[in-house]
Amino acid sequence: MTLRHLKAPGPAPSTRDVSETVRTLLARIEAGGEAAALAVAAELDGASGPVTVTPDEIATAKAALDEDTKAAIAFAHANIRRFAEAQRGTLSEMEIEILPGVRAGQKVIPVAAAGCYVPGGRFSHIASALMTITTARAAGVEHVAAVSPPRPLHGTAGGGRLAPDMLFAMDLAGADTILTLGGVQGVAAMAFGLFGLPPADIIVGPGNAFVAEAKRQLFGRVGIDMVAGPTDSMILADAGADAMTVAADLVGQMEHGADSPVWLVTTHAPLAEAVMAAVPGLVAALPKANAASARAAWEIASVILADSCEVMAEIADRTAPEHLHVQAADLDWWLSRLTAYGSLFLGAETTVAFGDKAAGPNHVLPTSGAARYTGGLSVHKFLKTVTWQRASAEGVRPIAEATAAISRREGMEAHARTADIRLSRR
């Protein structure tokens, strides 16, 4: 393998150890219930007042939105639902006769209650509401809760309510209950069944380091989709790629901030040089806050020159990026060759932002190399594939004989005798 770093990443920003803070907050909220959750929300978000969103508040939000915004959200929701329903159709129940008189099968059962965390920090993640709630609904979950932090009130540091577009998206996606509650306290409310929620069987959705750590600490007590870190994105490009398009796609992901790495891997040095020359200007043209985030992300970005498409594919598989975008010839070869990514974007006509917002496939994806061993959020995360078996007295005989023999070889005599008793009935 031959490769060369044309731009090596700078040092990654330091991260805080949040585990003890999260552990303390979860224990406090579990012990103190709703009052403790409200107190934590007031301390951390400046939030006050009731957290449960009412039907009147949702109706007011709908009335406040312009028709173009509602149409765009509805379009994205329809695509996400269509894709999730098609995914659900790939998993079916089955039954097979193992031996004469012995039948076994599988059932597919949705969890009873799901909790969806929707980030609301620097950005109001309308799409995350659609991705999580819609997918749970398509899976057949009975009760779907959604939580998101309040937006700051204009001119104050304190927390207000959820934005109208967020409420519209949550309601359209099918949330049964919506709470204006973020951070650890929002996760805890869903896990512990506060504010009238049934305790969640699974909690899904992206969030900051505190949200991710809360999910990690609660895993086992509840299911989770994954422990996600900062978003990341890789572009594989050959000589036929357009430098400005590649640069714009990198910058599009860089606005997530200083801890969100991007990579460009290419076989064409002139393309790499053109992209590196274009990025600063594209960053400078962004609004001030977005530009600051993108500029910081560019500090840890990598540009790598490889000597073949196979080497590019090997780098991608080894990195296992959350988003992998191929802007190169022979897209079918890339689709069959690549094996480790959260979501794959093939060709210059698509872009990661399409997947993030409106195309249909889910944008809650594995980060930090976790795509080596897992995929992203799907209806399957909300479904339990369970098995069953039944047998006739005649058909069970060979299974009982084998069970007794294996159990005794293992030293598990009580297991063997449960088989013996079936054999003795004959």
Residue 228 CA from chain centroid, whole number? 7
302 or 159, higher pLDDT: 302
Domain end residue (candidates: 178, 207, 224) = 224
Question: Which residue intervals of 90-208 are DSSP H helices?
Answer: 126-139, 164-173, 183-192
Q: Do residues 191 and 283 both lie within one domain?
A: no
* Tokens, residue 342: 């959260």
Q: What's the predicted TM-score (pTM) here?
A: 0.92
Q: Over the stretch 239-252, which tens digit does the pLDDT of each residue have?
A: 999 999 999 999 99
Domain end residue (candidates: 224, 244, 272) = 224
Q: Over the stretch 91-112, which tens digit does the pLDDT of each residue have?
A: 999 999 999 999 999 999 999 9
- 144 with 187: CB under 8 angstroms? no
Residue 104 CA from chain centroid, whole number? 33
Q: Over the stretch 200-221, which tens digit does the pLDDT of each residue have?
A: 999 999 999 999 999 999 999 9
Q: Do residues 244 and 317 both lie within one domain?
A: yes
Q: Over the stretch 67-86, which tens digit does the pLDDT of each residue have?
A: 999 999 999 999 999 999 99
134 assigned to some structural domain = yes
Q: Do residues 168 and 116 both lie within one domain?
A: yes
pLDDT for residue 12: 62
58 assigned to some structural domain = yes
Kindly give the pairing relationship between strand 202-204 and strand 262-266.
Answer: unpaired
Q: Do residues 349 and 259 both lie within one domain?
A: yes
Q: Do residues 150 and 249 both lie within one domain?
A: no
Q: Do residues 256 and 219 both lie within one domain?
A: no
Number of domains in the chain: 3
Which residues span the domain enclosing 401?
393-423
337 assigned to some structural domain = yes
Flag the least confident range among 145-149, 224-228, 292-296, 377-381.
224-228
* Tokens, residue 212: 């991710």
Q: Do residues 60 and 186 both lie within one domain?
A: yes
The DSSP call for residue 55 is: H
386 assigned to some structural domain = no
- Cα distances (Å, whole numbers) of residue 195 to 33, 35, 173, 211, 218: 9, 10, 21, 19, 19
Q: Do residues 324 and 398 both lie within one domain?
A: no
Q: Do residues 126 and 269 both lie within one domain?
A: no
pLDDT for residue 13: 59
235 assigned to some structural domain = yes
Domain end residue (candidates: 207, 224, 241) = 224
Q: Do residues 116 and 202 both lie within one domain?
A: yes
292 assigned to some structural domain = yes
Q: Do residues 194 and 244 both lie within one domain?
A: no
Report the residue count for the chain: 426
Q: Do residues 239 and 208 both lie within one domain?
A: no
- Residues forming the active site: 322-323
Does 30 score more than 70 pLDDT? yes
Question: Which residue intervals of 202-262 are DSSP H helices?
Answer: 209-218, 243-254
34 assigned to some structural domain = yes
The C-alpha R_g of the chain, in whole angstroms, comes to: 25
Whichever domain contains 327, its CATH number is 3.40.50.1980
Q: Over the stretch 124-155, which tens digit does the pLDDT of each residue have?
A: 789 999 999 999 999 999 999 999 998 865 44
Does 376 score more than 90 pLDDT? yes
44 assigned to some structural domain = yes
